[in-house]
Chain A
């Protein structure tokens, strides 16, 4: 085990992860990067024919020279309908290749079959958000290397900065041509934006586009540019459309969640954020809040210049009604979103580079006023957790969560307890964000504004005289304790880290440990 050092949020983090030296978290906006960006090798076009296709995945992997120990990158726009990753590792296994580092932008429950490739040694470890079964597998200490969890922006940053070198980038593409130009906007497995594939296409040594819908040259619009692509391979099906996007995103019917959504809308209005740009998502509360916000904007004749999505029917309806000026779309959640991004020039795909990359000359995240987010835990210092549960299990990825905390006011909205498990803790199990970046916590039992957030005092001032149920975070903690009782501490083995959590600048903010149950 590597040496552990304490970081700026007083969490122990290793000085070295999977053989690479690490920088402990130094505080938001404190770490100054140096050096130059990574770059892929120079290639000449005379090595590429007019048709880059090969017969199958195995032929593609042979062509790019996949070897033991290489790192493979992949986007997750196919979400829980992805059929490429499992086929890919089956092919790699059949080639007898071992110790691959898999660095996707996320994994989903459909990727559970990858556990057998972790067991057999084909995959060494996963560097990417680990959801569900694979998170559980890692939590129980079965994975060989340390998991590295990064936000969507953090993955771009790591690849750009050379912290995460991708040998082979795999790009499942709902439509592509033989040159490798690709889009997610249409095709039988249409997924909308392909933004998460940008880093792989720009920085990987070798890039393979995998499609089930070959179109004539040129594939328009070319979100992925053919001149970054080495090989194109066709598969019969790259995804299950029903699981890539939902037909229509349903609004929650839970009265408690609707009440929280109501409070979110009340808060946003009372704090003066209505009609300003906002971050939208597809979570139950955030989506319900959005529909309440749309009603109020309509009543007051307000129009927001743009929304960052997460696009859904609710957001698309707002665009078409003129309540928002544009959708900057990072991932498209339902069929209305896919239709809109394919047709509406004011609904544009974005990437983690434009949206979130912390090591860039700006990004969109701080241009939004509000982002309504979830969390598995928050503590009385407003530090928040999105990856582990209170029992220590690593079950969720970071997604864009860390990246969206930089607007005027980030809002965590959730029921005060799940089952009888309270969400407001004395200390979160895993720190995914420092407290200073959380603007407000909104629950069915009260709204706590963070006085230490840079806009906290201003927001509190604006809320004076409103009839919102304002409380302190300590009061929320006390209510939760009174109703639920004190949970037992998680049984974790502090000598046995299983994963680390990166902050948006590549520094280490916390460590996740093996559970013992």
Chain B
């Protein structure tokens, strides 16, 4: 057994906790903090409470803090304690402040903001930028040695951070090892689990089964959706199988970085190498009746590039785009907004449809032109999207003439 263990990072809104075994009977806690004059006592108290909940005694604790919030302090103390005492069971959960409402399978998922799972600083304000979803990431943004600490931090964030109206998503590690991430997450009202490197339908059924077993055990009745991420040749090839593997799959997403490497292509600005793959994701998703979601746009500074990439994604049929920086959210939402002229046209089609229903006519027509059913369906969809985006359609109603 190790004699001491640490957890946490030397970073803003984070702290490094070091636990030494064989301390005095009452835990001894020393705090050094940039907010110490105002919150030193509180930090000590939070650390002490965490250790009590976990049943840790005879330990001396050193904390070097850079103004972390309580839920982060609790997570770091727990992570250090579990590293020092690997058999430690139990969880020290912070008070729940965030909303726990369930989400709809086909809700709007235009933007999803990736948040590194071991970085509390970026989590606290993420909801303020109003993405459709936040992704607390346990996979690529977390170093292998920090997976345990990130899992605890993400669990606490799901309880203690208010993400506003954003759908609360977690990207777990690839299956099967990634299934170990689930027990900490499922009881905390996570809305959606992202399964990276999905390569078969059974990857997804496995994940769904694991989720549902935990949910049943802890009495969670809210739906927990799945978003497999297809980022290999094999995953893309089996897009339909993956998308239709479980009723809980609400969307499938394309991951460009790993895909490009997997097929040994060169990544180009215009994305020629992934054009077919992206289209296959759209086809697989549509065939299975789930949402196709596009990859991230990684050049944060390039707003015009993001706009162009989003426009292209929309034209291919995608319903969402990933974000790695909050400033991308607004651009993506603006790009997904239907044009005023399209809304006006959709309103005319809807009026024509209602008119046809009223008169019992089987044919919907605008002026002298007949309107085909797919056009009507598209118009109704435009109006539904506009309504979801909070656009006041009445202002765009066609002029009576």
Contact = CB atoms under 8 A, between A and B. Distances in A.
B69 A255 contact: no
B69 A488 contact: no
Contact of B128 (A256, A485, A486): A256
Output the residue of B12, B37, B68, B124 with the most chain A CB within 10 A.
B37
B12 A259 contact: no
B125 A391 contact: no
Contacts of A391: 37-38
B90 to A, nearest CB: 24
B39 A485 contact: yes
A491 B40 CA distance: 13
Interface string A396-407: 000000000000
Contacts of B42: 485-486, 488
Size bracket, chain B contacts: 20 to 34
Interface in B90-133: 97, 124-125, 128-129
A contact face: mostly helix, strand, loop, or mixed: loop
B292 interface: no
B128 A419 contact: no
Given A258-B327, A444-B128, A484 B69 contact: yes
A488 B128 contact: no
A259 B164 CA distance: 15
Given A256-B125, A419-B35, A488-B41, A482 B67 contact: no
Contacts of A419: 12-13, 34-35, 66-67
Interface string A166-194: 00000000000000000000000000000
A72 B253 CA distance: 69
Interface residues of A, number: 22
A484 to B, nearest CB: 7
A445 B38 CA distance: 22
B332 to A, nearest CB: 14
A8 interface: no
B326 interface: yes
Contacts of B37: 391, 488, 490-491, 517
Contact of B68 (A390, A420, A482, A488): A420
A75 B133 CA distance: 52
Contacts of A256: 125, 128
A419 B97 CA distance: 19
A488 B44 CA distance: 13
Given A419-B67, A421-B67, A444-B128, A255 B39 contact: no
A488 B97 contact: no
Contacts of A488: 37-42
A483 interface: yes
Contact of B327 (A255, A445, A487): A255
B28 interface: no
B92 to A, nearest CB: 17
Interface string B123-153: 0110011000000000000000000000000
B292 to A, nearest CB: 28
Interface string B33-66: 0110111111000000000000000000000001
Nearest to A469: B128
Contact of B125 (A444, A482, A484): A444
A420 B69 contact: yes
Nearest to A420: B67
Contact of B38 (A258, A259, A421, A444): A421
Contacts of B69: 420, 483-484
A259 B70 CA distance: 25
Contacts of B286: none
Nearest to A417: B67
B325 interface: yes
Contacts of B67: 418-421
A421 B38 CA distance: 8
A504 to B, nearest CB: 30
A343 B68 CA distance: 49
A501 B129 CA distance: 39
A224 B325 CA distance: 49
B134 to A, nearest CB: 13
Contacts of B125: 255-256, 444
Contacts of A258: 327
A484 B39 CA distance: 9
A483 B67 CA distance: 12
Contact of A420 (B39, B41, B325): B39
Contacts of A420: 13, 35, 39, 67-69
A1 B42 CA distance: 35
Nearest to A483: B69
B39 A259 contact: no
A517 B38 CA distance: 11
Output the residue of A391, A483, A517 with the most chain B CB within 10 A.
A483
A255 B66 CA distance: 20
B129 A487 contact: no
A444 B35 CA distance: 21
Interface in A402-442: 418-421
A390 B38 contact: yes
Nearest to B70: A485
A451 B191 CA distance: 40
Nearest to A482: B97
Contacts of B124: 483
Interface string A8-49: 000000000000000000000000000000000000000000
Output the residue of B38, B124, B129 with the most chain A CB within 10 A.
B38
Nearest to A491: B37
Contacts of A390: 38
A255 B38 contact: no
A135 to B, nearest CB: 15
A423 to B, nearest CB: 12
B34 A259 contact: no
Output the residue of A258, A390, A420, A444 with the most chain B CB within 10 A.
A420
Contacts of B34: 419
A486 B42 CA distance: 9
Contacts of A421: 35, 38-39, 67
A488 B69 CA distance: 15
B293 to A, nearest CB: 22
Interface of B: 12-13, 34-35, 37-42, 66-70, 97, 124-125, 128-129, 325-327
18 contacts: A255-B327, A256-B128, A258-B327, A259-B128, A391-B37, A419-B66, A419-B67, A420-B13, A420-B67, A420-B68, A420-B69, A421-B35, A444-B125, A444-B128, A482-B97, A487-B38, A487-B39, A488-B37
Q: What 6 pairs across the A-B complex have the smallest Cβ distances?
A: A419-B67, A487-B38, A255-B326, A391-B37, A420-B67, A256-B125
Given A418-B67, A488-B40, 20 more contacts: A255-B326, A259-B128, A391-B37, A391-B38, A419-B12, A419-B34, A419-B66, A420-B67, A420-B68, A420-B69, A421-B39, A421-B67, A445-B128, A482-B97, A483-B124, A484-B39, A485-B70, A486-B42, A488-B37, A517-B37
Interface of A: 255-256, 258-259, 390-391, 418-421, 444-445, 482-488, 490-491, 517
